[in-house]
Amino acid sequence: MARQKMQIKIMQNVLAANDSKAAELRDLLQRKNIFMLNLISSPGSGKTTLLEKTIPLLQDKFKVAIIEGDVETDRDAQRLEQFKVPVALINTSGACHLESVSIEKAFTSLDLDNLDLIIVENVGNLVCPAEFDIGEDAKIALLSTPEGDDKVIKYPLLFREATLAILNKIDLLEHANFDMQAFYADLQKINASLDVIEMSCKNNVGLDLWINWVEKKILLKIAH
């Protein structure tokens, strides 16, 4: 019991230290007029694919940078090299999420005086990334249809914390046994005000809605 109490205390201290650094980063982003998104999903839902589709649609209008969080390898960072936008890679060497100190480190390789938008691809995981504030303006919860409609109710924190949910791979809907009604009913219970975009990165469905959403949010922030 004493051991359990100690573990809880340590976790509370870790989260408090993370939150305090995240608040510093949020202030910094506010001063620099940069909008930052934290893209969170299970492995393979389509985060990097969404970035591959998004960057070309935004990079002529806004100065964009990406922070790539991965446990190992620079595979995703390599996929984004073709776009000529700054990409800062964080390898967590086993950790299942990004923390605010790693984002602070990534900032040192970015020119913050010359950016409007940073999109962070968090480590593929539905649980831990939702617990760690990294100073973002909004968390995006990405779910793909083959994962199942029960993920909202089984992993509620992310959907509670998110400002936008994207349901990707709707091109696979008929094969995925995904119950749309159940998905929306669970979202209603968990976070009734959450915006949702149904998407197929593969077939370019829903990308226009997503780009509009991002543009509006950037302009709302940088116009102030």
Q: Assess contact for 90 and 98: CB atoms under 8 A.
A: yes
Q: Assess contact for 97 and 15: CB atoms under 8 A.
A: no
Q: Which is nearer to Mg ion, 75 or 189 (CB)?
A: 75
Q: Which is nearer to ligand GTP, 7 or 204 (CB)?
A: 204
The residues that bridge with 200 in the sheet, in sequence order, are 205
Q: Which residue is nearest to Mg ion (CB)?
A: 48
Q: Report the nearest approach of ligand GTP to the CB of residue 186 (Å).
A: 21
| Of 166, 71, 54, the residue nearest 118 (C-alpha) | 54
Judged by beta carbon distances under 5 to 8 A according to partner kind, the member of Mg ion, ligand GTP, none in contact with residue 168 is ligand GTP
59 backbone dihedrals φ, ψ, rounded to 5° = -70, -15
Q: Report the nearest approach of ligand GTP to the CB of residue 50 (Å).
A: 7
Q: Assess contact for 36 and 137: CB atoms under 8 A.
A: yes
Q: Report the nearest approach of Mg ion to the CB of residue 78 (Å).
A: 11
Q: Which residue is nearest to ligand GTP (CB)?
A: 124
Cβ within 8 Å of residue 160, ≥6 positions away = 190, 191
Q: Which is nearer to ligand GTP, 44 or 56 (CB)?
A: 44
Q: Which is nearer to Mg ion, 81 or 111 (CB)?
A: 81
Q: Which is nearer to ligand GTP, 76 or 133 (CB)?
A: 76
Q: Coil, strand, or helix at residue 173?
A: helix
Q: Report the nearest approach of ligand GTP to the CB of residue 201 (Å).
A: 4
Q: Report the nearest approach of ligand GTP to the CB of residue 118 (Å).
A: 17
DSSP code string of 67-85 = EEEESS-SHHHHHHGGG-S
Site residues, ligand GTP (CB under 6 A):
41, 43-49, 76, 124, 168-169, 171-172, 200-202
In angstroms, the CA 207 to CA 204 distance is: 6
Judged by beta carbon distances under 5 to 8 A according to partner kind, the member of ligand GTP, Mg ion, none in contact with residue 46 is ligand GTP
